[in-house]
Amino acid sequence: MTSRESASGDEAAASSLDAVPIAIPGSASFPRRVRRPLDLARFVVAILLTASIVLVAWFATSTAAGLGTDLSTGAQLLPSLIVLALNIIGGIGTLGLPIAASIALVVRRRLRQLFDALVALLVTIVVLTIATNVISSLDSPRLLAALAGSAGPGGTATAPILGGLIAFITVARLMGRRPWNVLSILVIGSLVTVAVINSGIALAGVGVSISIGWAIGLICRYALGTPTTRPSADEIIAALSRGGFTIESLAAE
């Protein structure tokens, strides 16, 4: 067989391969939003964590109150410049982090994910605000003292803004991307430290706010779905066309 005949055979084989219908999963096989069972499992963990915090604070009210007092006393020994910096970071981060993350999601064309994150934030704030009012109206000084640190009128059982930020961070998946994970930890840590210093809420109340915010963020992420990074059928066709492949048919499997 001559080299010319061999080349002709290769071209014929390539043509026959190109002529074979290519079965490509269509957009129906690759939904734009997916629900991950791991989010549902984490939601259950968050609910159990919330219940555990409440039970521990309820049955060990004096111990929890003493721990909160010790932490508050220790935090008050921090230099005034550090306390001022924490207040500034927490105050600016409360608005700055969601705004900056929202802009980043818009730039990445994740408008639906941004909408879901804002919904989770608002739902968490409403839920925690209602929970605070209900706990305050209940004739249970022990429960109020366990979560607020005292049964007096000046305490609050939950931190709605803190919980809302946790829900927003969860749905926006900021902890999985840099530098957003560092910024999120810095802002949340500052808010928790300031809350402990001000003694306006017990450590158990802070923990409940964080766990409820995490739980609502997870259930919203599971119920509404998470944007997938899988390519669509059009993107697959465009990539194959750029590679020189001739597509004669497109079928979903």
Is cis: bond before 179, omega within 30 of 0? yes
Coil vs helix vs strand at 251: strand
What single-letter amino acid sits at 208? Answer: V
CA atoms within 13 A on the CB side of 49: 17
Q: Counting every residue, how long is the chain?
A: 253
Q: Is 211 helix (H, G, I), strand (E, B) or coil?
A: helix
pTM comes to: 0.75
Residues of the chain with pLDDT under 70: 1-33, 61-78, 149-155, 199-200, 228-237, 240, 245-253
Count of beta carbons in the 10 Å neighbourhood of residue 239: 11
3-state secondary structure of 177: coil
pLDDT value for 248: 61
Rounded-to-integer distance, Cα 27 and Cα 67, Å: 55
What's the pLDDT at 156? 80
Phi, then psi, of 250 in degrees rounded to 5: -135, 120
Question: For residue range 48-82, what is the model confidence (pLDDT) as tens digits?
Answer: 999 998 888 877 765 655 565 656 666 666 677 88
pLDDT of residue 247: 65
Tell me, what's the pLDDT at 220? Answer: 94
Q: Which residue has the tokens 């809302």?
A: 164
C-alpha dihedral over 160, 166, 167, 173, to 10 degrees?
160
Going by C-alpha positions, the residue among 241, 244, 252 that lies closest to residue 15 is 244
